[in-house]
Structure 1
Amino acid sequence: MNRGPASNPFLLDGLLAAACAAVVLPGFLGDGTPVWLAALLALCSAVPLTVRRRMPLAALAATTTVFLVALLWRGEPGPGIVCLLVALYSAAVAAPRSRALVTGTVTAIVVPVFALVVTGRHFLDTGNLGLIAVLGAVTAVGDATRNRRAYVRAIQDRALRAEQTREVEARRRVAEERLRLARDLHDIVAHSITVINFQAGAAVHLLRRQPDAAEAAIEHVITASRSTLAELGTMLTVLRQPGGEPLPLEPMPVLDRLDDLLDGFRAAGLVIDMERDGEVSALGPAVSMAGYRIVQESLTNALKYASPRTARVRLSCSGDRLRITVVNPVAGGRAPRGSSAPAAAPSPASWGTGRGLLGLRERAASVGGSLEVEEGTEEFSVDAFLPTLRTEP
Structure 2
Amino acid sequence: MSRLSTGTIVSLAICAAVLAGLVATYVARRPIELNALDVVLPLAACGALLARRRHPVAAVIVAAASTVAYYPYAKLDGPLLVVIFVALYTAADRGHLAAAVATGAAALLAMGYGESGGVRHVDDSMFIMIAGWVVAAIAFGGVTRNRRAYLEAARQLALDALRTKEEEARRRAGEERLRIARELHDVIGHNISLINVQAAAALHGLKKRPEDAEAALRTIKDTSKETLRELRTTLGVLRQVDEDAPTGPAAGLALLDELVKASGLRVRTETSGPLDALPTEVDLASARIIREALTNVSRHAGTDQATLTVTNKSGNIIIRVEDEGPGTQYDGGTGYGIQGMRERATALGGTLEAGPRPEGGFRVTARLPLTP
TM-score, length-scaled by structure 2: 0.78
Q: 2 CA distance for matches of 1:94 and 1:354? A: 58
In the superposition, relative to structure 1, how do residues 161 and 219 fare at CA in structure 2: closer, same or farther (>3 Å)? Answer: same
Aligned to 1:90: 90
Equivalent position to 1:292, from 281, 287, 294: 287
Matches within 5 A, 1:1-393: 11-29=5-23, 30=25, 31-32=29-30, 42-74=42-74, 78-115=78-115, 117=117, 119-120=119-120, 125-204=124-203, 205=205, 208-209=210-211, 213=215, 216-227=218-229, 229-230=231-232, 233-234=235-236, 238=239, 246=241, 251-253=246-248, 257-258=252-253, 262-263=257-258, 265-267=260-262, 269-274=264-269, 275-279=271-275, 281-283=277-279, 285=281, 287-304=282-299, 309-330=304-325, 346-347=326-327, 350=330, 355=335, 356-372=337-353, 373=355, 375=357, 377=359, 380-390=362-372
> How much does 1:324 deviate?
0.9
Q: 2 CA distance for matches of 1:248 and 1:129? A: 71
Read off the aligned partner of 2:133 and give its amino acid letter: V
Read off the aligned partner of 1:291 and give its amino acid letter: S
> How much does 1:71 deviate?
0.7
Fraction of identical pairs, as percent? 29
Read off the aligned partner of 2:366 and give its amino acid letter: A
In the superposition, relative to structure 1, how do residues 196 and 46 fare at CA in structure 2: closer, same or farther (>3 Å)? Answer: same
Q: Secondary structure at the match of 2:246?
A: coil
Q: Is the 8 A contact 1:56 1:94 kept in 2?
A: yes
Q: Deviations over 1:3-50 (max 9, x none)?
A: 865xxxxx3232122211222233212233689977766543322212
Read off the aligned partner of 1:93 and give its amino acid letter: D
Q: Deviations over 1:25-79 (max 9, x none)?
A: 3321223368997776654332221211111121112222332333124568530
Q: Secondary structure at the match of 2:365?
A: strand
In the superposition, relative to structure 1, how do residues 265 and 35 fare at CA in structure 2: closer, same or farther (>3 Å)? Answer: farther
Read off the aligned partner of 2:70 and give its amino acid letter: A
In the superposition, relative to structure 1, how do residues 3 and 171 fare at CA in structure 2: closer, same or farther (>3 Å)? Answer: farther
Q: Is the 8 A contact 1:276 1:316 kept in 2?
A: yes
Q: Is the 8 A contact 2:60 2:100 kept in 1?
A: no
> How much does 1:291 deviate?
2.6
Greater CA deviation, 370-379 or 132-141?
A: 370-379
In the superposition, relative to structure 1, how do residues 293 and 153 fare at CA in structure 2: closer, same or farther (>3 Å)? Answer: same
Q: Is the 8 A contact 2:12 2:50 kept in 1?
A: no
In the superposition, relative to structure 1, how do residues 259 and 306 fare at CA in structure 2: closer, same or farther (>3 Å)? Answer: farther
Q: CA RMSD in A?
A: 3.9
Q: What 5-or-longer segments of structure 1 have no aligned partner?
A: 6-10, 239-244, 331-345
Q: 2 CA distance for matches of 1:351 and 1:21? A: 80
Q: 1 CA distance for matches of 2:173 and 2:278? A: 28
Read off the aligned partner of 2:227 and give its amino acid letter: S
In the superposition, relative to structure 1, how do residues 42 and 13 fare at CA in structure 2: closer, same or farther (>3 Å)? Answer: farther
Q: How many residues align?
A: 360
In the superposition, relative to structure 1, how do residues 225 and 360 fare at CA in structure 2: closer, same or farther (>3 Å)? Answer: closer
Q: Is the 8 A contact 1:109 1:132 kept in 2?
A: no
Read off the aligned partner of 1:144 and give its amino acid letter: V
Q: Deviations over 1:251-290 (max 9, x none)?
A: 32488534557525524533444425224544362x4444
Q: 2 CA distance for matches of 1:248 and 1:361? A: 22
> How much does 1:300 deviate?
0.6
In the superposition, relative to structure 1, how do residues 312 and 62 fare at CA in structure 2: closer, same or farther (>3 Å)? Answer: same
Q: What 5-or-longer segments of structure 2 have no aligned partner?
A: none
In the superposition, relative to structure 1, how do residues 192 and 65 fare at CA in structure 2: closer, same or farther (>3 Å)? Answer: same
Q: Secondary structure at the match of 2:211?
A: coil
Q: 1 CA distance for matches of 2:99 and 2:42? A: 27
Q: 1 CA distance for matches of 2:242 and 2:67? A: 76
Read off the aligned partner of 2:315 and give its amino acid letter: D
